[in-house]
Structure 1
Amino acid sequence: MTSASTGGTSITANPAAEAALKAELQPPIRKFRPDRSKRSLPVKIAIGFGLVAFSVLFIYPFIWLISASFKPRGEVFDNKLIPDTFTWENYIRVWQEAPLALWILNTLIVTVLAAVSVTVSSAMVAWGFSYFRFKGRSALFGVVLATMMLPGAVTMVPVFLIWNSLGQVGTLTPLWAANLFGSAFYIFLLRQFFLGLPRSLFEAARVDGANNWAIFSKIAVPLCKPAIIVTLIFEFQASWTNLMAPLIYLRDSETFTIPRGLKALLDQFGFGGNLNWEIVVTASVITTLPMIILFFVAQRHFVEGIATTGVKG
């Protein structure tokens, strides 16, 4: 071994240390990625044609639904995207035939409460599994994940008996209150994001005097914002379109949510009813639009939450 003096400081020349230093100073090796600009014209045309074909395949049912909502009763099922007889009457009658505004309000209450409660509770449980070290943590987390294996039909009757004993059957409470205890899927999703955060951030905050709640709410949650937004969107969509729970717990039309109300409209105007299908399809368009608007508004956060696997820079 040799030593050299630089500015009065003695530095020992260690081959292993020098090799490690050179490795750190070298620029990172970039992975090979194919240049998309070099694709041949036929390949680009084929890809574009496939994307357009699949887009039309998925969009066509909704376009047909919108078209049918502007048709009179006798032309609903003529499969023409441009109506022969264009009318706005269906959008006036649907509000007169059913308390659609009340159903939308009930659904908003349920979806907001369900989405917020399950996001907060799942994030807290996921943070506990990712940050704290305790005996049996992995086994307990495995039990939480195992609950995803239980079909909803298995717990349907016991859960109904619990809410019935509490006198909540016929109210909106059973549609969202169970989310106060979190969801195994969202706990798993959020835990993976929390595990991707560097623990040194939390240790530094603890040295500065931050408690567990401050570390969770002011550091961990903001860094996992994409995952939080994805959880909110998933649960909002699931609660907005949930039909099974309203069918079980709701009795009065004044407490109906949108899916339960559409079922009532289908019974009244669809099969076995008056066959006024224009009312059913118009109500379907009105109740579907909020989900489409929500997706376009939150699309950037949604894609970011799905794609993000590490710490945001």
Structure 2
Amino acid sequence: MKFSEYLKKCREKSSFTQEQLVQELYLYDTGLFKTIETSTLSKWERGITKPYLSRQVGLIKYFQHKSGKALPCFDEYNAQEAQKLICKTGIQNLLGKSKKLIMRLPSKMIEVDDISITQLRNTEMIDHIIDMHMDIDQGLNSKFADFTSNRFKEFALHPSNSFFVCEHKDRFFGLLFTLRLKPEVFEKIMNIEIREKDLTVDDFASFHEVGCNYAISFFAMNEKAAALLFIRYYAHLIANQKSISEVGVSILMEDSQKLISNMNFHLHREKELDNGTTLQTYRETLANFLAYEKVVKIILDKQECPEG
């Protein structure tokens, strides 16, 4: 969707005329929208001109304020529809460089049309991938999570959680695992009062209640696979925005810091562990996580994004 289409859709859903919206924007943020006139808004909606990214974010935050939704006017999209809105190259740029979490298997070995992103619970390789994940986690994080294979499989099979796997011709190319936690459990994880190994299935939020999305693992064989996994991640957040209040992650590795440096997470807590490493937790409300210049550009400027 182009920004012009998005703006017009949000205005019409709010039942505002262009003149009314201009007045509303001025009252909402005088500094950002002081010079906006009806003619300017009209040009934005017709795609003749486009506001700076800071104003695009400001408009989204206004409609967040008006509607109470994390990404207003996208709340009716399902995950498959949301994926089509997201620029793959833009996601690659957003992720930055990570030598350990994103390998350098040549992209030409993977044809995009042949890649599938599926839930771990739906793949025949579930046990093999869980064993592989355990090995990867031990190598990268010294078994910080300390899950048993059976317990990890229990988490993966739980319908509230999203364990995305990238496959190509029955071969594994990456994973991105997230849990859907109850807000009070998420708070304890973020404050480092409990660790991932302390979680049980009773800590997962159902889809009938508001929960928090907590990422526990990511690894990809190359940048293309990484981008497709994170496209699915963002699409999942957009499609389920009504029932997700916050997003978060705990990290040990410097490479993990590099990976999330371009994403709109903010450092919440730090704690030095017995082995001398430092555990850091990052969190953000879903509304702020999505109303971020780099994310807005990836979603609303896709027509200007090269898909090489």
Larger-gyration structure (1/2): 1
Task: Report which of the two has the higher share of helix.
Answer: 1
Q: Tell me the TM-score normalized by structure 2.
A: 0.28
Q: Tell me the TM-score normalized by structure 1.
A: 0.28
Task: Report which of the two has the higher share of strand.
Answer: 2
